[in-house]
Amino acid sequence: MGKLGNETAKAELGRAAWKLFHTTMARFPDKPSVDESKALKDYIHLFARLYPCGECASHFQQILKKYPPQVSSRSSAAAWACFVHNEVNISKGKPVFDCANIGDWYDCGCAEEEKESMAKHGSQSER
């Protein structure tokens, strides 16, 4: 890649990453255990630290310092993720996304039972 980078690849990476990020929040339990909340918080911090675009990673880490992850429930995590994505949108001069219906926006395509079993599996693996 040249010195100017590749804006198209960066934007594609961004769209894919945001999709995963928001879908992860949409699948997070409504009533998470302490361990599940900790896992999400760790995941968010590692996502920010390891994000492949270095400039984006340091920008996002600054945003996390200002607006720490909200991991007490699915709705608070989803609303928080929408808010911090808007912080990135604003910094790039993009329109602000309406977070009011964020709960219906991201669908993993998986069955409800699978979501439940994922939550259970998480607590089983603690034993």
Q: How far is the CB of 8 from ligand FAD (least distance, A)?
A: 10
The residues binding ligand FAD (CB under 6 A) are 10-11, 14-15, 17-18, 22, 51, 55-56, 59-60, 82, 85-86, 88-89, 92, 94, 97
Structure tokens at 7: 């804006």
Side chain identity at 76, as an amino acid letter? S
Here the contacts of 8-11 (C-beta below 8 Å, separation 24 or greater) are 10/53, 10/56
Residue 15 or 127: which CB sits closer to ligand FAD? Answer: 15
Q: φ and ψ at 6, to 5 degrees?
A: -130, 100
Residue 26 or 32: which CB sits closer to ligand FAD? Answer: 26
Q: How far is the CB of 29 from ligand FAD (least distance, A)?
A: 20
Assign 117 to helix, strand or coil.
Answer: helix
Residue 25 or 36: which CB sits closer to ligand FAD? Answer: 25
Radius of gyration of the chain from its Cα atoms, rounded to whole angstroms: 16
Q: How far is the CB of 75 from ligand FAD (least distance, A)?
A: 14
Structure tokens at 121: 């599996």
CA 109 to chain centre: 17
Q: How far is the CB of 14 from ligand FAD (least distance, A)?
A: 2
Residue 89 or 117: which CB sits closer to ligand FAD? Answer: 89
